[in-house]
Structure 1
Amino acid sequence: MGFVRNGSEKLECTALGQWTGRPPRCEAVACPGLAAPGRGRLNCTHWHGDFTYNSTCAFSCEMGFVRNGLERVECMALGQWTGHPPRCEVMRCPKLRDLEPILMNCSHPLESFSYGSVCRFRCTQGYFLNGTSRVQCQPDGHWSDKMPACQEEAASYFKQVLLYMGGGAVTLVALLLTGMFIALLIKRLSNKEEEKTLLNPISNLGAPGVFTNAAFDSNF
């Protein structure tokens, strides 16, 4: 098992003392040849010849790539491998998202957000970067650093505070002016009422236009 005859199945000795043919050879069954996967390596052990019965081949991948498939295959007696050769796929890092006020610019030499990808960060006007300005996807599928954040600059913050306080001050002034206007209006109305009272011809001292003096009247 695992070997095939290469030559005649039967030989006969002729009258001249010679065999009718040469003795056959038993050769190991051959499996299809294998090659290293892209971005990978192939390491084989051959007991009876290259890629033949009992040959074993192991696969590995370059740094930054991961094997997708079997690590090892073996050539069987029927001339077939125990499985399909694997593929080496690039290691991926978690996808990054840029949300304002942070701005991101990435370069991907292989695939999006994979080994070797580099992302740079900056902030919109009025904000400053808190953290690293550059991260790179490592061979183990992790970024070289945490994604930074954008924080509002102090000047911008105080500007907003002043705007807020300014709005409050305007409201306060408006309320004060309104109160003063109402007070003046009430005072003016009160003055008009007093003027009406002074100009009223009806007096509490007697009939209209007639003034009496009790002491003077008693003498007559």
Structure 2
Amino acid sequence: MVDSEQVLGCKAPMGLVLVLLLSSLLGPLGQAQAQDCEKPMRYTMSLTGEHIQKEHFPNGLVVTFECATGYRSTGGSGKTTCAAGTWTTSTLSCEKFNCGSLELVNGHVEYSEGTSFGSVATFSCKDGYILSGREKLTCGNTEWLGRTPTCSVVKCDSPPSVDKAEGPSPKRDLYDFASVVRYKCQKDYTINGSASLKCSSNGKFTPNPPTCLMVRCKAPYIPNGSQKSGARPPYVHRSLVEYECNPGFKMEGEGVMTCQLNSTWSSTPECKVLPVDPTSSPVLPVDPTSSPVLPVDPTSSPVLPVDPTSSPVLPVDPTSSPVLPVDPTSSPVLPVDPTSSPVLPVDPTSSPVLPVDPTSSPVLPVDPTSSPGDSKTSSQFLWFLVLVPIVLAVAIGLTLKKRGSQSLRAPVPLEEDKIL
């Protein structure tokens, strides 16, 4: 308080003192009235009435707050006063509105931010059920904005029929969820795709219906090759054949082939000529009419070509006598005349026939029945003695040659009781 006597330096009248005292008290208050308040901001509240649009508020003005959209009052007063540029504290309390949880029979509900204001609920049905209604709802100021959807049992329409096939089986107008239908192709046709379809959760049969195809593969042709095993015509779907190459050829590719749905074979092998070893002997062409070539022992003697005009070589009897080689310096063995008398074997117990010396004079035997002067009889006997050794030599030679050419036949035993 200001002492009026000190201010004036002397005693002042009583009225002047009161004026001075009122000025000292009202001076600060007058200055405060000139300071306005800015627009009050509350995160969970908003102004009401005419003050909503204002930006500046005079000193001493009283305004009222209410809970903002999506919030609810939990008690207190929303009034506040502008005092020297500052708002007094209100007692109003607000909290976010809660829409509460939702239920979906035969389905599920998921929330983005719980069940309070602004949260989004997403709906989905269990397998075998389909959603009817909105898939999402938002929590509003007072409730969920929209009707809760429902989940109904899935139904599938009848799938289409397939050309050249029986089905779908069983036949109905509507099918429940997880129902299965089947197709069967007619005779000589192969099914392409799945024979069974299932009613799925989206109300459609899956997978797509199959088709029926006529599958026929042509007979394989592999040059220089032949079929080893497998199916015979007609070649239908999944028929399997195995091919191999002829001797002297090597296979390139897969020799086992399968008839596919597009009526083609799974592979096409080739038979290519084996490379020739320059150090090896040349391979002679094989006569297709001949009997099959056994494997050759590399340590054995080389096989000489056979003269096709010669007699076949018969197997050797191991119990027979060995065939002796022919002396190239000996006289040639003449062939035997099949109309002549057979040459009898020589009796080993008889006396040997000595060869005749061509330079000596023939010794004529004496015919005891002939007369001393009978020249005709003596001449015939002389020729007999000359021809006998020659005939015996020729017969023995022919016998040896015959045994040599037929060395593989069993020997014929000599009949010792037949003596010339």
TM-score (norm 1): 0.42
TM (normalized to structure 2)?
Answer: 0.25
Max Rg structure = 2
Q: Which has the higher contact order (CA 8 A, sep 6+)?
A: 1
